[in-house]
């Protein structure tokens, strides 16, 4: 029996939900010898995406890349300087995997809120700014509804587009982390909003999935400089495009963030 279009859409939506929730394997009732079975289209798509992952940097090469990132980041006195340092950095493997330019950040350089996503997509790679595609437009609308439009500065955990818009690897994030941390140190935001599992796990060094992390306040504290801020993980706007019913959860997280900013402001004035 042929599947109806609405059934296919429901299955695709469910698979997308499982993926963003951290499910990466499925088990059947009996073992299957896949050496004699053609992989389904979904598996072929995963294989194409993972085939574009660069080989991991070997020990000293990875250490050298991180050290160079730290050196460049430390020399940046402003966010504009930091954007130039990112553009000059050659140690991230993503730079040579089809990205046309670095994508640093956008927003208020004196923002009260630092927003961190996972990585640039095709539209971001073309324009050179983060969150300018459909997911970014949704993010902007939600921030506006929460009264946060002019109070945010938005970046990603990596600054070059991963091929096929795949999730950046932990190593790619680690190489770029000194720049993210320097942006945090320069901004000194009153709060940080983390979008999706990749950003939340990278910044918080957490193992839990985003469904467990979201809606719970944490703290991000740098080892050097004494900079810290409360952190709110939430769902990525790209996930909301596939699962509109989850907007209620993100809206609750944004309201919690807005209330916290307002409460802190009142306490400071008092």
Please report how many Cα atoms fall inside a 13 Å half-sphere around the Cα of residue 29, on the Cβ side: 0
- The C-alpha angle with vertex 114 and arms to 119 and 265, in degrees rounded to 5, equals 165
pLDDT for position 47: 44
Pick left, alpha or beta for residue 38 (phi over 0 → left; psi -120 to 50 → alpha; otherwise beta): beta
Model-level pTM? 0.79
Q: Which domains does the chain have, with CATH numbers?
A: 59-269 (3.40.470.10)
Contact assessment for residue 75 and residue 85, using Cβ atoms and an 8 Å cutoff = yes
Residues in the chain: 270
pLDDT for position 226: 84
Which one-letter DSSP state was computed for residue 146? T
Identify the band that residue 184 occupies on the pLDDT scale cut at 50, 70 and 90: very high
Most confident stretch, 26-35, 61-70, 107-116: 107-116
Identify the band that residue 211 occupies on the pLDDT scale cut at 50, 70 and 90: very high
H helix or E strand, kind and range, residue 177: helix 170-187
The mean of the pLDDT values for the chain is 86
Which has the closest alpha carbon to 155: 101, 205, 115, 112?
115
pLDDT for position 3: 54
């Amino acid at each position: 029996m042929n599947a109806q279009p609405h059934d296919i859409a429901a299955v695709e939506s469910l698979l997308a939900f499982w993926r963003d929730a951290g499910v990466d394997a499925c088990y059947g009732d009996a073992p299957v010898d896949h050496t004699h079975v053609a992989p389904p289209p979904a598996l072929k798509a995963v294989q194409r995406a993972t085939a574009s992952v660069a080989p991991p940097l070997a020990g000293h090469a990875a250490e050298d890349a991180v050290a160079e990132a730290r050196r460049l980041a430390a020399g940046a006195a402003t966010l504009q300087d930091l954007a130039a340092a990112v553009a000059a950095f050659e140690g991230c493997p993503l730079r040579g995997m089809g990205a046309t330019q670095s994508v640093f950040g956008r927003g208020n350089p004196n923002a009260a809120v630092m927003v961190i996503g996972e990585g640039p997509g095709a539209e971001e790679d073309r324009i050179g700014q983060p969150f300018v595609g459909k997911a970014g437009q949704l993010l902007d609308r939600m921030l506006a509804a929460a009264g946060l439009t002019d109070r945010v500065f938005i970046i990603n955990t990596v600054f070059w587009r991963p091929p096929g818009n795949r999730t950046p690897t932990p190593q790619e994030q680690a190489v770029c982390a000194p720049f993210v941390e320097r942006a945090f140190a320069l901004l000194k935001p009153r709060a940080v909003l983390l979008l999706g599992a990749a950003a939340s796990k990278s910044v918080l060094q957490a193992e839990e999935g985003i469904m467990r992390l979201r809606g719970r306040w944490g703290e991000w504290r740098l080892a050097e400089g004494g900079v810290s801020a409360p952190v709110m993980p939430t769902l990525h706007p790209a996930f909301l495009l596939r699962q509109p019913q989850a907007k209620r959860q993100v809206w609750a997280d944004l309201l919690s963030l807005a209330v916290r900013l307002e409460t802190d402001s009142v306490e400071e004035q008092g």
